[in-house]
Amino acid sequence: MHTTVTYFLQESAKRLGLSDQQLNKLLTPNKVHEFTITLNNGKCFQAYRSQHNNDRGPYKGGIRFHPDVTRSEVVALSILMSLKTALLDLPLGGGKGGIAVDPKQLTAHELEELSRKYVAYLSPYIGPQQDIPAPDVQTNSQIIDWMTDEYHKITGDTSGASFTGKSLKKGGSNGREAATGRGGFIVAQTIMQSNNITDVSYGLQGLGNVGSFFATEASTLQPRWQLQAASDSKTAISSKDIDAQSLVAYKKHNQKIAGFPNTVELSSNQLIRGEYTMLVLAALGNVITPANASVVRARFIIELANGPVTDKATDILFHQGTEVVPDILANAGGVVVSYYEWLQNMQKKRWTHEDVNTKLDATMTQATVDVLDYAKLTNTTLKQAAFDVAVCKLLDLPLRK
């Protein structure tokens, strides 16, 4: 992932004529906290928090619990967060954290202890005006509630704004759970409308939280869109027009999509090869590489996951007519509503679902229009345009007119 982020920033620097000093500022985090957490039973885990850039406001970004978490990955993701917040015109910077752990192998007590000790170490370096973490891969509102409580115990802060992604009863925001999926849908809808495409078919890789909400929002707000293939971590299925609401309910009840009525099973490679208007990637990074990019036949790829298309694959796709809608735009809905949660906590207010969604839709639509306009003006791809616009906003440079 770090290689891909570096590549796109280097290419952006060339197009924008950045100095070496400006490029180095983009590639280098202000601070990386790297430490070991030891539980009372002696188990040890490597932990990280990368604070990339806070020129526009407090650092903002999630905390992931996964065995493959590394310093390099956390740094790359913190860079992407700085770009996202700049692209969406949020008064925030970029950060990211993680612990190299499989949370499924911990007891509930161990998980709580790990979460609280992570905050205990970082407490001098985070806070409502300094660095505002949130949930990410394999972390959730319960973990964030523990972390918020620990920060309160250590610092006395009562705002609740030290973390976002909290449960509703602990100061979380309406609409936060669906925000990334809904935001991705709004981006996709805006792009379809700008291309005068009304009959939309799509394949969906990944039916977790983000993919599920993308599909259900699409089903509700654009009922003419046809979901023609979907996958979870174990199975891919296909049909001419899958009922997204029923599929998501089936997955929630059965913990799988295998056996969903009136569908046939596919391999993951077959899903990627489908002739759709859009291929929505909502699972893992590095899914489309030079090894399989040539078989993609979708007109658009929507990067709901972080970095699902590698840099070299992006070039291959462009030359064969597939446009990549980049992650820093497509999956930014989560950080937008995280900002709204922070704002509500600071103002001691609670917005309705309708308020949150109205504001989210307007923000995501405007950011997408900005990228579309810049891509047309400069004859660049959507991915190049998104990076260029974000870099200009982050470095406070004028956009090309």
CATH number at residue 162: 3.40.50.10860
Judgement on whether residues 216 and 237 belong to the same structural domain of the protein:
yes
Q: What is the pTM of this model?
A: 0.94
The one-letter amino acid code at 342 reads W
Is there a contact between 210 and 280 (Cβ–Cβ < 8 Å)? no
Domain hosting residue 165, numbered range: 29-170
The DSSP string of 236-271 is EEEEEEE-HHHHHHHHHHHSS-TT-TT-EEE-HHHH
Judgement on whether residues 304 and 206 belong to the same structural domain of the protein:
yes
Is there a contact between 255 and 278 (Cβ–Cβ < 8 Å)? no
**Domain final residue pick, 330, 361, 389:** 330
Judgement on whether residues 37 and 121 belong to the same structural domain of the protein:
yes
Judgement on whether residues 304 and 237 belong to the same structural domain of the protein:
yes
Residue 285, pLDDT score:
85
Is there a contact between 220 and 243 (Cβ–Cβ < 8 Å)? no
Is there a contact between 187 and 364 (Cβ–Cβ < 8 Å)? yes
**Domain final residue pick, 144, 170, 196:** 170
Judgement on whether residues 143 and 188 belong to the same structural domain of the protein:
no
Decide if 159 is inside a domain: yes
Decide if 336 is inside a domain: no
Q: Residue 67: helix, strand or coil by DSSP?
A: coil
Strand partners, 280: 204, 302
- Which residue shows structure tokens 């949130």? 134
Is there a contact between 79 and 51 (Cβ–Cβ < 8 Å)? no
**Domain final residue pick, 170, 202, 230:** 170
Q: List the catalytic residues.
A: 96
Judgement on whether residues 139 and 189 belong to the same structural domain of the protein:
no
Residue 401, pLDDT score:
55
> Which tokens belong to 342?
């922070």
Decide if 17 is inside a domain: no
Judgement on whether residues 90 and 162 belong to the same structural domain of the protein:
yes
Decide if 149 is inside a domain: yes
Judgement on whether residues 105 and 59 belong to the same structural domain of the protein:
yes
Total domains, the chain: 2
Judgement on whether residues 161 and 190 belong to the same structural domain of the protein:
no
CATH number at residue 249: 3.40.50.720
- Which residue shows structure tokens 């704004």? 161
Decide if 20 is inside a domain: no
Decide if 9 is inside a domain: no
**pLDDT by residue for the chain (401 residues), tens digit each?**
788 899 999 999 999 999 999 999 999 999 999 999 999 999 999 999 999 999 999 999 999 999 999 999 999 999 999 999 999 999 999 999 999 999 999 999 999 999 999 999 999 999 999 999 999 989 999 999 999 999 999 999 999 999 999 999 999 999 999 999 999 999 999 999 999 999 999 999 999 999 999 999 999 999 999 999 999 989 999 999 999 999 999 999 999 999 999 999 999 889 999 999 999 999 988 899 999 999 999 999 999 998 899 989 999 999 999 999 999 999 999 999 999 999 999 999 999 999 999 999 999 999 999 999 999 999 999 999 999 999 999 999 998 75
Judgement on whether residues 216 and 158 belong to the same structural domain of the protein:
no
Judgement on whether residues 196 and 326 belong to the same structural domain of the protein:
yes
Judgement on whether residues 225 and 297 belong to the same structural domain of the protein:
yes
